[in-house]
Amino acid sequence: MLRKKRIIPRSCDGCLLAGLLVFGMCLPSFSQAADCVAVRQTIKSERNLLKRKDLLVEAIKVCPKDPVVNFMYGYSLERLRKYEDALNHYLIAAELDKNYADAFSGMGDIYMVLGNVDSAVAAYEKGLALDGKDKRTARSLELAQIKLKAQSGGAIKANDFVNVMKNSKTPAENAIGSVEGPLLRMLIIFPDESAELSDDAKDQLSLVVGRALLSPALADAHFEIGGHTDAGGNSKANMEMSRGRAQAVKDYLVDNFNINPERLQVAAYGDSRPVMPNDSSANRNMNRRVEFKRLK
């Protein structure tokens, strides 16, 4: 993913040439403020990703309170899929520099991967308020708002489904069970303790999902249909119920829209992946959901 890079003042040309030795030879001769500017510049000038990663490990030790170093270290951790650690450094960067738009956008990206859509929307909104020209963040916010609406039971359109699945980055190694990739949570309504689709559920699948899967933009796309339940009942029964509901969704789409069944993979998660605490009726409703995730 691309982010707008800040312009860092050029300084310490000797440090730039020193490369990996910069931390051992150049930094001790500078004040702490000057050292961190030099550290940033050295890291930005390093094109070898493995060397840059090593430099960042040292940089965060030397400049733990520098917002740009924390942001760059967080971005490096994000690329390594160490999402919780990356989020922590984005949070530190934003706390150190409350006008650091990229840090808030980075937080939004991590919240989306972790499934915390509410927090992602808030982070993107803050980033966009600080940098209204950031088109990438504006697009990310738009998609996050669609996801938040869908998982809250709001009405979305087939085009919204297409936009989420078409415009989100799909990892090449994405697979069944992965938490990554384009994903849309929807409240598909089932009768209590039943895997039979309600009339409302059939309407929702027809008006949104079926039409979206027939779109030319998604003609070759494959999806996981993941079933989820709340924490009521025992785990074994919940797993069986979630699988039955996901299978019912797949069968409906195959039978009524002539979708190639090989494009739809069923996965069951039972109550193992709640998006909300199971402490209220509204939250339990959100946990009883079907997720559509693009696999390729």
Whichever domain contains 279, its CATH number is 3.30.1330.60
- Range with the poorest average pLDDT among 40-44, 124-128, 131-135, 190-194: 190-194
Residue 4 forms part of a structural domain: no
Give the mean model confidence (pLDDT) for residues 168-184.
56
Cβ 208 vs Cβ 157: under 8 Å: yes
| pLDDT score recorded for residue 3 | 52
Give the mean model confidence (pLDDT) for residues 93-109.
97
Q: For residue 205, give the amino acid letter.
A: L
pTM over 0.85: no
Q: Which structural domain, as residue segments, surrounds residue 250?
A: 166-294
Determine the Cα–Cα distance for residues 34 and 228; give it in Å rounded to an integer: 52
Token pair listed for 70: 């924390």
| pLDDT score recorded for residue 256 | 96
pLDDT in tens, 71-90: 999 999 999 999 999 999 99
Token pair listed for 260: 């190639």
Mean pLDDT of the chain: 83
The CATH number of whichever domain residue 70 belongs to comes to 1.25.40.10
Pairwise pLDDT comparison (109 vs 18), residue with the higher score:
109
Residue 1 forms part of a structural domain: no
Determine the Cα–Cα distance for residues 235 and 98; give it in Å rounded to an integer: 44
Rg of the chain's alpha carbons, rounded to an integer? Answer: 23
CB atoms within 10 A of CB 139: 14
Chain CA centroid to CA 64, Å: 26
- Range with the poorest average pLDDT among 63-77, 148-162, 169-183, 242-256: 169-183
